[in-house]
Amino acid sequence: MKLKGKVAIVTGASRGLGKAIALGFAREGADVVIAARSDVENPKFGGSIFKTAEEVKAIGQKALPVQCDVTSEDSVNAMVQKAQQEFGGVDILVNNAGVAFYAPVVETPLKRWEMVIRVNIIGAFLCCKTVIPLMVKRGGGSIINISSLAANDRHEDVPIPTGVAYGVAKAGLERFTFGLASELGKDNIAVNAIKPVRVVNTEGMRFWMADADKSEWQSPDKMVACAVFLAQQDACGVTATVASDDELVAWHGLII
Ligand SMILES: NC(=O)c1ccc[n+]([C@@H]2O[C@H](COP(=O)([O-])OP(=O)(O)OC[C@H]3O[C@@H](n4cnc5c(N)ncnc54)[C@H](OP(=O)(O)O)[C@@H]3O)[C@@H](O)[C@H]2O)c1
């Protein structure tokens, strides 16, 4: 068990990749805080924080489902406080909550542009700011940001399907990753970002790209293996890295 005795917060764990990572951490012995907005089954996508929590408990680990909107400072503070009360500290934070707006720039209302930036970057900032003091008390920790190839993909002829705001937000998240890593080396906290090379088959992607050819899509397993590997790091190990799942698997010989 690679994460035995560890406590992890996974944002956006009501479904999709966040849920898969939460379950992957539990299989490795971690107790998990399931943070997302859906406390009842989401009508569009399915999944809820309680559903994920049940599955974590079925694996034999403790789960704390907490309704949390990562764009709200009060909501993030309350979630982290509950984690502290329930588990006495936090070792791992996965900033996975993410949204895109699938439209060209001229058709993107300001509030949608702001929402994409708020969830993907401001959410990660608020969660880090609130969790870091708890990790410092533990003597170290690991922060994992979930990015996307959209951060630096340049298709000359094909518009980015997930919208430019999403790419801008993920580029910001990557810059945040190595900036924060250099601040937190002295506190023994690793900060890394990972992104899948192929589309991960999640509820969100199935909804937004219903008509897409899914033959090349992958299960979340490789991203989960990468997250488990990064969750074991502190500042003496892998930090300040922004890598794809394929790169991490090759560089560190990860077994899926
Ligand atoms: N799937 C892929 O191929 C792919 C590729 C590259 C990167 N990613 C990244 O991977 C992450 C997960 O994507 P996914 O495909 O699993 O998407 P998904 O199925 O749509 O799941 C998104 C998760 O984010 C949560 N979320 C959204 N807004 C939130 C908010 N304001 N506060 C808290 N939680 C919020 C959702 O929960 P609630 O609705 O319950 O709040 C949900 O659990 C995202 O960061 C995405 O950008 C995915």
Domain map of the chain by residue range?
7-252
Half-sphere exposure of 17 (CA within 13 A, CB side): 30
Separation between Cα atoms, residue 138 and residue 79, nearest integer Å: 18
Determine the straight-line distance between the first and last CA of the chain, rounded to whole angstroms: 15
Question: What separation in Å is there between the alpha carbon of 97 and the centre of ligand 1?
Answer: 4
| Residue bearing the CA closest to ligand 1, atom 47 | 98
The predicted pLDDT at position 254 comes to 96
- What does the DSSP 8-state code read for residue 214? -
- Tell me if 16 CB under 6 Å of ligand 1: yes
The predicted pLDDT at position 160 comes to 66
Q: Which tokens go with 211?
A: 């008509």
- Tell me if 218 CB under 6 Å of ligand 1: no
Catalytically annotated residues = 166
The predicted pLDDT at position 256 comes to 82
The predicted pLDDT at position 42 comes to 85
For residue 41, the Cα-to-chain-centroid distance in whole angstroms is 20
Task: Indicate which atom in ligand 1 lies nearest the CA of residue 69.
Answer: 32
The predicted pLDDT at position 107 comes to 95
- Tell me if 200 CB under 6 Å of ligand 1: yes
Burial of 161 (0-12, 13-18, 19+ CB in 10 A): middle
Domain 7-252 carries which CATH code? Answer: 3.40.50.720
- Tell me if 195 CB under 6 Å of ligand 1: yes
Tens digit of pLDDT per residue, the chain (256 long)?
999 999 999 999 999 999 999 999 999 999 999 999 999 998 999 999 999 999 999 999 999 999 999 999 999 999 999 999 999 999 999 999 999 999 999 999 999 999 999 999 999 999 999 999 999 999 999 999 999 999 998 776 666 688 999 999 999 999 999 999 999 999 999 999 999 999 999 999 999 989 989 999 999 999 999 999 999 999 999 999 999 999 999 999 998 8
Cβ-Cβ contacts under 8 Å for 93 (sequence gap 6 or more): 8, 9, 11, 127, 128, 131, 135, 141, 142, 143, 144
Question: What separation in Å is there between the alpha carbon of 100 and the centre of ligand 1?
Answer: 9
Task: Indicate which atom in ligand 1 lies nearest the CA of residue 49.
Answer: 40
